[in-house]
Amino acid sequence: MLNRCLLSLAILLVAITAAAQQQSPMPELPADVPKDAEVRVLLMDKTPSGQDAIWQSADGAIHEFFQFNDRGRGPKIYTTYRLDANGLILSEESNGVDYMKSPVEEHFSLVDGKAAWKNQAEDEKQAGANGKFFIDLNGGPESGAILARALLNPKNNGTLPVLPPNLNFVHYGIVDTDGDALPDDYSMRWSTAGVTTGARMILVTPSGILKCTAATTASCS
């Protein structure tokens, strides 16, 4: 995930069967999450602790519900993403509670090259924002998968300027962690003034489905 609030959290997201999910000491999924949603499980210290559910509506919007339980703390957030033809975010809406159970709302829109976003820390606008990728505060792990797919789109040349502008540029490098020579393992790196300041593993299938996000290559192996 590329959520700015969760970049430092050492977690692992993996696919899991419904039966295994029911046996795990995790919060229950809300009833409004569709039964056919793709559900990934969040592991903390190898213990199933939450879920990331993804589904798509008929209008093409991507919907996400993300939650985890860390000794009573942890977020419960719904996010809706709408993308352009190049896989960049045109609008994003998040609502729920953050890690400390405080209510949060986040809104982002890009219309005619003008971006506007508002969350618990920012209320900003920027012109000339076409071709830039919005890095949110409150979205779930799917935002990282969306970024991975956008970076893999040949039209974006493997690098993207991002919003907010103080985050500068995001770029990625490929790490083949399983020796299969398939382009499915990525180290998402972000930089300031051309200097890499952080990295996170994002594993996606060739079709762009998120398999895992974690702090290190070993955690995703």
Q: Are 172 and 187 in contact (CB under 8 A)?
A: yes
Q: Which residues, 6+ apart, have CB-to-CB distance to 42 below 8 Å? A: 11, 12, 13, 48, 49, 50, 51, 52, 68
For residue 107, give the amino acid letter.
H
Would you say residue 67 lies in a domain?
A: yes
pTM assigned to the model: 0.79
Would you say residue 3 lies in a domain?
A: no
Q: What are phi and psi of 18, to 5 degrees?
A: -60, -35
Q: What is the pLDDT of residue 206?
A: 61
Would you say residue 202 lies in a domain?
A: yes
Would you give the DSSP letter of residue 167? G
Would you say residue 59 lies in a domain?
A: yes
Would you say residue 68 lies in a domain?
A: yes
Q: Residue 88 and residue 52: Cα distance in Å, rounded?
A: 21
Would you say residue 1 lies in a domain?
A: no
Would you say residue 2 lies in a domain?
A: no
Q: Residue 141 and residue 201: Cα distance in Å, rounded?
A: 12
Smallest CA-to-CA distance from 93 within 77, 69, 74, 75 is with 77
Q: What is the pLDDT of residue 18?
A: 44
Q: Are 2 and 201 in contact (CB under 8 A)?
A: no
- Whether a cis peptide bond, with omega within 30° of 0, leads into 48 is no
Would you give the DSSP letter of residue 98? -
Smallest CA-to-CA distance from 14 within 41, 38, 39 is with 41
Q: What is the pLDDT of residue 46?
A: 80
Q: What is the pLDDT of residue 169?
A: 56
In degrees, rounded to 5, the angle at the alpha carbon of residue 1 between the alpha carbons of residues 158 and 94 is: 110
The helix or strand, by DSSP H or E, that contains position 152, with its residue range, turns out to be: helix 142-152
Domain count, the chain: 1
The parent domain of residue 107 ranges over 12-220
Would you say residue 61 lies in a domain?
A: yes
Walk along the chain (221 residues) and give the pLDDT tens digit of each residue.
456 555 444 445 555 444 444 445 689 999 999 999 999 888 887 888 999 999 999 999 999 999 999 989 999 999 999 999 999 999 999 999 999 999 999 999 999 999 999 999 999 999 999 999 999 999 998 988 888 888 878 888 777 888 887 765 555 444 444 555 444 555 555 555 454 555 566 666 666 667 666 655 556 65
